[in-house]
Structure 1
Amino acid sequence: MKFGALLPLCLLFSACALFQRDTRPVHAPPEEAARVQFPLDLPADTRMTLSGALVTAMQLALDDFLPLNVKPHSGASPEEVCLYQRESYDVIASPGADGVMFVRITLRPDTCEKHGPIMDMGATYAVDIAGRRILAVQR
């Protein structure tokens, strides 16, 4: 293959890199961050310890179920806006066999249901922890 044929291909791949979304969360401005007071130790009566495997499984399932960059459509009702917020959901996880973690995401009771119950808002994921991939989804 000649250099002239490779140049457009290289430019195309370079341009594709510009369209990749940033996977890091948004950080507060330095002025706001400076106001945060960290405790010397996390209070024993309220802290929770989660295994890395559990956090990985939950993160993968949540990223698939409700990606952080997804926003409600223009003119969405308050109930629809509520459904786009991760804090509207509970996440339950349970280890399975062979390094699989089952993660269930369910709408918190009475969270977005101002005009009656919302059905079928959730999913259960089978997550391969070692492979960092979703094996199956049950909706």
Structure 2
Amino acid sequence: MKSLVPVVLCCSCFLTGCSLLSRFGYYKRPTAERASSEEAETVRFPDSFEPGMHLNGPIMEALRVAMDDFLPPGSKVKGDNDRIAECLSRWSTYDTSVLQANEDLYFVSFLPRLSRCGLDAIVLDAGATYAIDGKGRILDVR
């Protein structure tokens, strides 16, 4: 009987797209797509990042914690409208703001922009604001 467990697990993984493994916290992140070498040759890197957006390590950690909780890798939003659910399942839909209140407190806000998906709809309570401490713990979510 014990020897059937791996076989059943493997079969269910193939049939369900390994959703069973993702329920246990396993998710293989896809590798980033690379542009062709011809396209890459057209890119000119800046001489300075001074005018750019600067995120220090603690801000990046607070952002990562909030992102992984709000829309975990491999997850899909469920809802009555498939187009809206698909839209809300993509990170490119959201505007994200990070506010460092002090050395040990960060607020991370996610606000959806459904117009990026070609949708003219209003969804209440689709975003969230996280309070994250300097240890990377979620203090509260609204």
- Scaled by the length of structure 2, the TM-score of the pair is 0.63
Partner of 2:56: 51
Q: CA deviation at 1:83?
A: 0.7
Pair 1:37 & 2:40 matched? yes
Q: What displacement does 1:40 show?
A: 6.6
Percent identical among aligned pairs is 29
Count of matched residue pairs? 117
Q: Structure 1 residue 61: deviation in Å? A: 0.7
Amino acid aligned to 2:140: A
Matched residues in 2 for 1:63 and 1:21: separation? 13
From 102, 116, 123, the equivalent of 2:121 is 116
- Report what 1:85 is aligned to: 90
Structure that is richer in helix per residue: 2
Q: Give 1:118's aligned amino acid.
A: V
**Secondary structure of the structure 2 residue equivalent to 1:49:** coil
Unmatched segments (≥5 aa) in structure 2: 1-20
What's the C-alpha RMSD, in Å, of the aligned pairs?
3.3
Q: Equivalent of 2:76, from 71, 74, 82? A: 71
Q: After superposition, what is the alpha-carbon deviation per residue over 1:29-83, rounded to whole angstroms, capped at 9, x for unaligned?
A: 8xx577373757446487432222222111111111111210255x962221001
Contact map agreement 1:54 1:101 (CA 8 A) in 2: yes
Equivalent position SS for 2:97: strand
Q: Distance in 2 between matches of 1:112 and 1:106?
A: 14
User: How far apart in 2 are the matches of 1:107 and 1:72?
Assistant: 13
Long gaps (5+) in structure 1: 1-17
Given the alignment, which residue of 127, 131, 138 partners 1:134? 138
- Using the TM superposition, give the Cα deviation of residue 88 of structure 1 relative to its aligned residue in structure 2, in angstroms: 0.4
Within a 5 Å distance, the mapping from 1:6-25 to structure 2 comes to 19-22=24-27, 25=29
